Amino acid sequence: MAERLRLMAVHAHPDDESSKGAATTAKYVAEGVDVLVVTCTGGERGSVLNPKMDRPDVWANIADIRRAEMDAARAILGVEQAWLGFVDSGLPEGDPLPPLPEGCFALQDVAEAAGPLVRLMREFRPHVVTTYDEDGGYPHPDHIMTHKISVAAFDAAGVPGRYPDLGEVWQPLKLYYDIGFSKGKILALHEALLAAGIESPYEEWIKRWEDRPDKGPRITTRVECAEYFPVRDDALRAHATQIDPDGFWFQLPMELQRAAWPTEDFQLVRSLVGSSLPESDLFAGVR
> Does position 268 have pLDDT exceeding 70, yes or no?
yes
- Which pLDDT does position 275 carry in this prediction? 87
- Which pLDDT does position 69 carry in this prediction? 97
Per-residue pLDDT, averaged over 78-98, amounts to 93
pLDDT in tens, 168-201: 999 999 999 999 999 999 999 999 999 999 988 8
Going along the chain, which residue ranges are E strands?
A: 6-11, 34-41, 80-86, 128-131, 174-178, 221-224, 263-271
pLDDT in tens, 45-73: 988 989 999 899 988 899 999 999 999 99
On average, the pLDDT of the chain sits at 95
Q: Which of 38, 35, 37 is nearest to 5 (CA)?
A: 35
- Which pLDDT does position 209 carry in this prediction? 80
Question: Binding site residues for Zn(2+), as ranges?
Answer: 13, 16, 143
Spatial contact of 234 and 76, defined as CB atoms under 8 Å apart? yes
Q: Which of 136, 177, 16, 133 is nearest to 81 (CA)?
A: 16
Q: Which of 61, 62, 114 is nearest to 84 (CA)?
A: 114
- Phi-psi region for residue 141, left (φ > 0), alpha (ψ -120 to 50) or beta? alpha
Return the number of other C-beta atoms located less than 10 Å from residue 161's C-beta: 7
Pairing of strands 80-86, 34-41: parallel
Spatial contact of 41 and 88, defined as CB atoms under 8 Å apart? yes
Helix (H, G, I), strand (E, B) or coil at 281: coil
Which residues have C-beta within 8 Å of that of residue 170, sequence separation ≥ 6?
A: 121, 122, 125, 157, 158
Residue 282: pLDDT band (50, 70, 90) is: very high
Question: What distance in Å separates the CA atoms of residue 235 and residue 249, rounded to the nearest whole number?
Answer: 14
β-strand partners of 7: 35, 128
- Give the CATH H-level superfamily of domain 6-181+218-250+263-271: LmbE-like (3.40.50.10320)
Per-residue pLDDT, averaged over 77-94, amounts to 95
Residue type, 76: I
- Which pLDDT does position 79 carry in this prediction? 98
- Which pLDDT does position 18 carry in this prediction? 97
Which residues have C-beta within 8 Å of that of residue 130, sequence separation ≥ 6?
A: 7, 8, 9, 10, 21, 175, 176, 177, 178, 266, 282
> Does position 149 have pLDDT exceeding 80, yes or no?
yes
Pairing of strands 221-224, 263-271: antiparallel
Domain ranges of the chain: 6-181+218-250+263-271
Question: Binding site residues, as ranges?
Answer: 13, 16, 143
> Does position 1 have pLDDT exceeding 60, yes or no?
no
Residue 2: pLDDT band (50, 70, 90) is: low
Residue type, 214: D
pLDDT cut 70: percent of the chain above it: 99
Return the number of other C-beta atoms located less than 10 Å from residue 287's C-beta: 10
Question: What distance in Å separates the CA atoms of residue 204 and residue 226, rounded to the nearest whole number?
Answer: 25
